[in-house]
Amino acid sequence: MSFRLGLTGSIGMGKSTTARLFADEGCAVWDADAAVHRLYSAGGAAVVPMGDAFPQAVRDGAVARDALRAIIATDANALPRIEAIVHPLVQADRAAFAADHADRITVYDIPLLFETGAEAEMDATACVTVSRETQKARVLARGTMSEADFDRILSRQMPNEEKCVLATYVIETDTLDHAREQVHDILRDIRNRLPDHA
C-alpha cells in the first residue's frame, strides 16, 4: 500500500520543481496538469465532451487551451461547466495511476488539491510557498501571461496562506537547495511514520 502525499501550491510557487525533487528521491509522481494535457490532446477523453459544450474550443481534434482561456475571460458561467467535464476525468486518471503504482511513497501534484477536496484521498499534504513578490516575478518572467491573467488565476484559487495552514507540511522554495533539504526532511518523517520503516 502506497503512502499518498498531495503536493499543492499556487501558480509560481515552485510546485513543479518541488515535484521533480520528490521524483529525484525515487517517489512516483502524478501530475494533474500533465493529466489535463493528455485529456485535451487528440484522442483524449475530454475532447468530445468539451467539443459538445464549447465547439470553438476544439481545433484539429484537440482542445485548445488558449481558446478556453478566452472563453473563461468572457463567460462567467464557462469555468464551472469546464470543471464539471474535466474534474471527473482527472480523478479517473489519478485513480488509474494509483492502481498502477504501489511505490512506498507516491506524490500527487495537484494545483487545486484543497479546492477540489482531493486532500481527502491523501495520507498527508504538502504546500509550497514563497513571497508574493517572488511568485509574481516568476510567473511574469515566463512571458506566457499578463499581469491581469495572473491576477485572474489567483482570484480563482484558495489563498496560499490558507493552503499552508491546511497542509501537513510546508515547503519554502526560496532556493533550490533549501527546497531539496525540506523534501529530504519530509520523506524522512514519512518513512518514520510507515509501519514497516527500518
pTM for this prediction: 0.86
Number of alpha carbons in the 13 Å side-chain half-sphere of residue 15: 27
List the beta bridge partners of residue 28.
106
| Whole-number Å distance between alpha carbons of 147 and 149 | 5
pLDDT score recorded for residue 144: 83
Q: Which residues of the chain have pLDDT under 70?
A: 1, 103, 196-198
Domains of the chain as residue ranges with CATH:
1-27+105-193 (3.40.50.300), 41-102 (no CATH)
pLDDT score recorded for residue 4: 95
pLDDT score recorded for residue 178: 97
pLDDT score recorded for residue 196: 67
Q: Exposure pattern of 25-50 as b/e (b: 16+ CB <10 Å)? A: eebbbbbbeebbebbbeeebbbbebb
Q: Which of 175, 18, 40 is CA-nearest to residue 108?
A: 18
